[in-house]
Structure formats: C-alpha cells, structure tokens
C-alpha cells in the first residue's frame, strides 16, 4: 500500500489530495498519513499543504524497485528487485534464492561487506557510492556457454555508459576501465548439472560516485569511478535501469538465437589489449603472447611466443599487460 501511495505521488508534479488517494486505494486518511510518515523516514521529501494535499519534492538516492522502475523498459530483467541496505555479497545471496526466484530477479545492495571478484578476490563496495547488483538468469544453454554471458554483461554496461557519453575500455572478459583503471567488474557464477544450467547469477559492480578518498589505498593505482572521470555526480538509479535495459536486449537475442555478435563487436572494438603483448596467468603458470582477437564464441585468441595460436576460455585465466601491475 505504501508503494501505491508513492506511485501516485510520483505520477504527478501537482498536489494530490488525501481524498483522491483515499478514494483510489480505499484507504483511511489516517492510513495515508502513516504511509507518508514512513516514506519521509526513508528519505522522501513530501510536502503537505492543508487544503491542497501532498506533493513529492524529492526522492532518496536508493536503488529500490520504486525508484528504478520509472527508467526500466524491460520485460523481465529488474521487474523483481530485492534491495538491501547492507549485505555480505549480492552474488552469494542471489545463489541462495536463485532456484526459487523468477528469471530476471535482481539483488541490489547499497553496500557489500564481503563483495567478491573472480577467484575469491575482494571487491570494494562502499555504501551508496556504486551499483552492486546481481541478476538471476535461467538460460537454457549448455554450461560450457555460460562464460559467454559475461561478455553480454560487459557490452550492456558499455552501452549504458555510452548514454552518459562515457566510453570505457573493456578488459576481456569481465572488467571495464577508464583511463586504464577499473570502474566495473562482472562476476558470473552458475549452479549446473553436467549438461544443464539450473541458474546463472551475474554480479555487476560499478564504481559510480566514488570520490578519491572512497577508493581503498591498496587499489588506488588500479581503480577509479565515473564521477572521478567525469567530475560530476551520476544518477545511480537511471544508470542501473539502463544497464538492465541494455542487458535484456542482448540476453534475449542470445537465448533465442545463440547470436552474440553485437556484444563481441563491442568487446573487440573497445578492448584494452587486442594487438598487444599480454601475460596469460593460469595459477602459477605465466605465458607470454599477443592478444589477436576475440572469437565468435567470446574466447580470447592468443598467439603465443612459440607461434601457437590458442583460444582461451575465460573461466580459467587472468589477463595482464606486459608490464607487471
Ligand atoms: P584478473 O585480471 O587477475 O583476473 P580481474 O580483473 O578479473 O583480475 P576481479 O577478480 O574481477 O579482477 O576483481 C578483483 C580485483 O579488483 C581485486 O583484487 C582488486 O585488485 C580490484 N578491486 C577490488 N574492488 C574494486 C573496485 N571497487 N573497483 C575496482 N577494482 C577493484
């Protein structure tokens, strides 16, 4: 009911009388007042003028369903948002609820206390400074193909940032960078049987409104934010919705046809390492080679120093520039 009150307030720039709200939702004036009070406590600035009614002045910077949906154009991605003020990790939570959640459910937290990157590495996720979200997916594809979804995620974030006139570089397979520093990381995990995917959770972390002092000391040399890059505060709600909008388009096409040419093109054309010497790190083993292409399966094609050309599967390696960082 509180959400209905919020929706009606959002639907108009004018005052809405208590009588109108009470008629629309069969609510007593006391009930309306209770909901208004609770919305104010959440950070909504709602004006009330005795003979006119209520008017929404401003909304809080929160990545909740009611705030994001006004920018959403999707059919199912982001139509069910589970929001936390603080959580260990959105991917961890998503894995716990995946089997009972409908496809497209998104877990979003204002802060992660145990955010993770690939291979268990920590992902800094300070409160209200970024977008820390995980999308629950149920693609009917072979487990081997799940890694490809990461490239769809990277392309979706790339496209969404394009709407802000920001053009990041993509570090295959899962990071986006500005000025050579990371602003987004994607972590795709799955629950599967030998030949069948039960669920995929795709975690997307974007450093949106970090100031320099929000970046932990140990990653200052390799992390930045969109705000630092653009010198302007970014609307997290709109960016969240845009990422989901872009992702659904690429994802639906991929599920229906297996086609991911658009995403590969974006990753290829904006790749940070293509044409360059790289180090391919697999556990303790480091191999030198030249990154020559991203193939139609989303794998990185590397020409190794012994002239062997191999397609690298993203799950198993880390890619670095030639100079240790
Ligand atoms: P690799 O290239 O070695 O595979 P990766 O690029 O896949 O690494 P991830 O595992 O995705 O990296 O991310 C974890 C790493 O990202 C951390 O070890 C840290 O260096 C860095 N990091 C952690 N938090 C952030 C953040 N908020 N923004 C940018 N970088 C971060």
Distance CA 131, CA 227 (A): 13
Atom of ligand 1 nearest to the CA of 185: 11
Model pLDDT for residues 190-213, shown as the tens digit of each residue: 999 989 999 999 999 999 999 999
Does residue 224 sit in helix, strand or coil? coil
Rounded to the nearest whole angstrom, what is the distance from the C-alpha of residue 179 to the centroid of ligand 1? 16
Task: State percent of the chain over pLDDT 70.
Answer: 99
What's the whole-number mean pLDDT along residues 58-77?
95
- pLDDT higher than 70, residue 325: no
Rounded to the nearest whole angstrom, what is the distance from the C-alpha of residue 72 to the centroid of ligand 1? 28
What is the pLDDT, as a whole number, of residue 220?
Answer: 96
**Rounded mean pLDDT of the chain?**
95
- pLDDT higher than 60, residue 299: yes
257 backbone dihedrals φ, ψ, rounded to 5°: -125, -10
Task: For CA atoms 221, 222, 223, 228, give the dihedral sign.
Answer: positive
Q: How far is CA 239 from CA 3, 163, 178, 233, 325, in A?
A: 22, 9, 16, 12, 30
Contact 301, 293 (CB under 8 A): yes
Task: State percent of the chain over pLDDT 90.
Answer: 89
- State the pLDDT confidence band at 86, using cuts at 50, 70 and 90: very high
Distance CA 147, CA 138 (A): 14
Model pLDDT for residues 185-195, shown as the tens digit of each residue: 999 999 999 89
Atom of ligand 1 nearest to the CA of 319: 2
Kindly list the structural domains of the chain, giving each domain's residue range(s) and its CATH number in brackets, ordered by start.
2-58 (1.10.10.10), 65-269 (3.30.930.10), 277-319 (2.30.30.100)
What is the pLDDT, as a whole number, of residue 119?
Answer: 87
Distance CA 200, CA 213 (A): 34
- State the pLDDT confidence band at 157, using cuts at 50, 70 and 90: very high
Distance CA 57, CA 55 (A): 6
Rounded to the nearest whole angstrom, what is the distance from the C-alpha of residue 197 to the centroid of ligand 1? 26
Atom of ligand 1 nearest to the CA of 281: 3
Rounded to the nearest whole angstrom, what is the distance from the C-alpha of residue 47 to the centroid of ligand 1? 44
Atom of ligand 1 nearest to the CA of 218: 20
- pLDDT higher than 90, residue 249: yes
* Ligand 1 site, CB within 6 A: 117-119, 121-124, 174-175, 182, 185, 207, 219, 222-223, 318-319
Rounded to the nearest whole angstrom, what is the distance from the C-alpha of residue 117 to the centroid of ligand 1? 6
What's the whole-number mean pLDDT along residues 246-267?
97
End-to-end CA distance of the chain: 53
Q: 212: burial class by Cβ within 10 Å (0-12, 13-18, 19+)?
A: exposed
Rounded to the nearest whole angstrom, what is the distance from the C-alpha of residue 307 to the centroid of ligand 1? 30
Q: Among 240, 225, 208, which residue's Cα sits nearest to residue 128? A: 208
Q: What is the dihedral of CA 17, 19, 24, 30, to 10 degrees?
A: 100
CA 172-178-183 angle, 5° bins: 75
Q: Which of 11-15, 70-74, 163-167 has the lowest mean pLDDT?
A: 11-15
- State the pLDDT confidence band at 127, using cuts at 50, 70 and 90: very high
Q: Which helix (H) or strand (E) holds 2?
A: helix 2-10
- State the pLDDT confidence band at 324, using cuts at 50, 70 and 90: low
pTM for this structure? 0.94
What's the whole-number mean pLDDT along residues 73-93?
98
Does residue 60 sit in helix, strand or coil? coil
Atom of ligand 1 nearest to the CA of 223: 29
What's the whole-number mean pLDDT along residues 294-308?
93
- pLDDT higher than 90, residue 305: no
- State the pLDDT confidence band at 306, using cuts at 50, 70 and 90: confident
Encoding tokens for residue 190? Answer: 């799955």
Encoding tokens for residue 153? Answer: 């995620």
């Amino acid at each position: 009911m509180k959400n209905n009150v919020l929706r009606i307030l959002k639907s108009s720039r004018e005052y809405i009388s208590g009588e109108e709200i009470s008629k629309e939702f069969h609510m007593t004036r006391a009930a309306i007042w209770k909901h208004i009070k609770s919305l104010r406590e959440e950070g909504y600035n709602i004006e009330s003028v005795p003979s006119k009614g209520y008017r929404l002045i401003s909304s809080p910077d929160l990545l909740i369903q009611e705030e994001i949906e006004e920018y959403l154009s999707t059919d199912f991605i982001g139509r069910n948002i589970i929001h936390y003020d603080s959580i260990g990790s959105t991917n961890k939570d998503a894995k716990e609820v995946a089997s009972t959640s409908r496809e497209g459910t998104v877990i979003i937290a204002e802060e992660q206390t145990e955010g993770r990157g690939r291979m268990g590495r920590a992902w800094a996720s300070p409160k209200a400074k970024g977008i820390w979200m995980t999308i629950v997916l149920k693609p009917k594809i072979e487990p081997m193909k799940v890694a490809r979804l990461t490239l769809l995620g990277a392309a979706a974030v790339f496209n969404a940032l394009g709407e802000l006139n920001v053009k990041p570089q993509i570090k295959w397979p899962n990071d986006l960078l500005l000025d050579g520093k990371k602003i987004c990381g994607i972590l795709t995990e799955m629950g599967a049987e030998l030949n069948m995917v039960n669920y995929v959770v795709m975690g997307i972390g974007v450093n949106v409104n970090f100031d320099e002092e929000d970046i932990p000391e140990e990653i200052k040399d390799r992390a930045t934010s969109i705000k630092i890059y653009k010198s302007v505060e970014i609307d997290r709600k709109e960016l969240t919705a845009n990422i989901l909008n872009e992702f659904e388009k690429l994802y639906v096409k991929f599920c229906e046809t297996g086609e991911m040419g658009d995403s590969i093109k974006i990753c290829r054309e904006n790749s940070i390492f293509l044409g360059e010497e790289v180090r391919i790190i697999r556990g303790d083993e480091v191999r030198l080679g030249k990154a020559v292409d991203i193939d139609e399966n989303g794998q990185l094609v590397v020409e190794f120093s012994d002239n062997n050309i191999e397609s690298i599967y993203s799950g198993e390696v880390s890619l670095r520039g030639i100079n240790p960082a």
